[in-house]
Amino acid sequence: MSEPAPLSTASSAGSSGAGGGAGAPSPLPLVPEPFLAPPPPGLLHILMSSDKCQELMWSAKQLQLQGDPTLLRPPPNAFGAPLAPTWELLQETSARLLFMAVRWVRCLAPFQALAAADQLVLLRAAWKDLFLLHLAQWSAPWDLAPLLAAPAARARLPPDPLADLELNTLQEILCRFRQIAPDGSECGCMKAIVLFSPVFCPDTPGLSETQPVEMLQDQAQCILADYVRTRYTRQPTRFGRLLLLLPSLRAVRARSIELLLFRDTVGDVSVATLLHDMYRMQPAPTPAFHPPPAQPTSEHCSSP
């Protein structure tokens, strides 16, 4: 005779009470089993790991900027107090955030799997958008509007009709970012979307392999959509609002960002020319764990 299936404690207690006949169904457990959320998608897991690597580099190693005369380090409390920074502090912090953006890329495992030449092509094309996302993310406690609206900001830019529009766009980006307040996972996905973009300026050399880049961008966008839908169930427009931030980033020219936020720290040197040395300055850090490889896009996108 086969052994009966084991019963839970709650089921056994219910069977021994009144009405617990042999033909009656077992009552529900008194204490429901804890809900186990599914593991995060592969690429989201990697993006979160890269952000954690970035935070550790920021706090533990201070990004090692004090040894580089072109990249200055702001005071330790730069992001702690909701103050209106000076131009000097903003310039120094911008240099630090640029280095931080490069470190984020170095921590990103799918990016390291691409051809070395393609890595530099993507980084040179996306550095401005990545930097602006980092600026919006890490300078949230600051009120930069008075600084960007001051005549000193306009004086840093050439007499170009687009300069006024770009200053307004930059203020709008920071304001909308503070209003939406993206969390770390959303920021990671947005950075991946702008990094894995096969669209470049005419003077930028193309990629040797576009399919892996397009696949990674599709994955990042699908993961962001799934994450926002499950995490922010009462904000049906949140995903669209996040995506609408990205065209605003592209509306600001890289040269304008260089003149506005990097002129005092790097001089007339183009940031794009510094990226190669910054990217090769240190080897990619080894994470404490091995994140799962990125899965095909279809596994991350939910069916409509």
- Give the C-alpha separation, 260 to 154, whole Å: 9
pLDDT of residue 265: 83
The pLDDT confidence band at residue 45, using thresholds 50, 70 and 90, is low
The predicted model gives 158-175 an average pLDDT of 92
Specify the DSSP class assigned to residue 205: -
Q: pTM for the complete prediction?
A: 0.69
**CA nearest to 51, candidates 190, 150, 178:** 190
Q: What is the largest CA-CA distance in the chain?
A: 93
pLDDT, tens digit, for every residue of 226-282? 999 999 999 999 999 999 999 999 999 999 999 999 988 887 778 888 887 888 775
How many CA atoms, within 13 angstroms, populate the side-chain half-sphere of residue 122? Answer: 32
Helices (H) and strands (E) in the chain, counts: 15, 0
Taking phi over 0 as left and psi of -120 to 50 as alpha, with beta for the rest, 49 belongs to alpha
The pLDDT confidence band at residue 27, using thresholds 50, 70 and 90, is low
For the chain, the domains span 45-65+83-286
- Give the C-alpha separation, 170 to 175, whole Å: 9
In words, the CATH class of domain 45-65+83-286 is mainly alpha
Asked if residue 175 has pLDDT above 80, the reply is yes
CB 266 within 8 A of CB 278: no
Asked if residue 78 has pLDDT above 70, the reply is no
The pLDDT confidence band at residue 33, using thresholds 50, 70 and 90, is very low
- Give the C-alpha separation, 214 to 294, whole Å: 13
Q: Report the SS3 class of residue 167.
A: helix
Specify the DSSP class assigned to residue 63: G
Report how far apart, in Å, the C-alpha atoms of 176 and of each of 51, 102, 148, 245 are: 21, 24, 15, 8
